[in-house]
Amino acid sequence: MVRSYGPPITTAGVDEVGRGCLFGPVVAAAVVLSPGACERLQALGVTDSKRLTAAQRDRLVEPIQRLATGYALGLGTVHDIERLNILYASLLAMARALRRLAVTPDLCLVDGNQPIPNLGFPQQTVVQGDRIHTEIAAASILAKVWRDRLMVRLDRRYPGYSLARNKGYGSATHRLALQTLGPTSQHRKSFKGCR
């Protein structure tokens, strides 16, 4: 007896970076990968972006983009963060990334334990998903590299905060600059470190 299996399930992974920063947007990426692409990217070393060096992450961007069925980025702006709070701005960034995909996934794997409100298609939250699912790990790498490059560019626009080095996180240098220079329009003024 021949069994008929439907088309393969299209799975997207989504992750965000920058939740703990004092400066700039929270950035999410969504990545759709085939099972074969997952295997190839695992062999190249794709894993949780926090376990990789900056150089390793940079080298993996091109293969992820080349092998992905689809990928997209979404932002939660500083205005979104101040208006909603960091959790809901992060979920909004993830929803924006997923809605920008050229391919509508059958299932979305969301890093963490918070589902995305009003997403419109099936989702599954996965705690430490960037260590378990290649789709989420690939998304974490794209989001991290894009945000880090943004911080390097914004360092030239907002000198004195060492953004190219601290990537917007609350390093001692960044906190000292906030005390002496005050916050910019891209600082999250609701965050304790910016007050």
pLDDT above 70 as % of the chain: 96
Cβ proximity of 50 and 128 under 8 Å = no
Number of domains in the chain: 1
Q: What is the pTM of this model?
A: 0.94
Q: How far apart are the first and last CA of the chain?
A: 69
Residue 23 domain flag: yes
Q: Could you tell me if residue 177 is inside a domain?
A: no
Q: How far is CA 10 from the centre of its chain?
A: 20
130 lies in a domain? yes
Sheet order of strands, 11-17 included? 70-76, 26-32, 11-17, 107-111, 123-126
Residue 7 has pLDDT above 80, yes or no: no
CATH number of residue 152's parent domain: 3.30.420.10
Domain span at residue 76 reads 11-157
For residue range 85-144, list pLDDT tens digits in order. Answer: 999 999 999 999 999 999 999 999 999 999 999 998 899 999 999 999 999 999 999 999
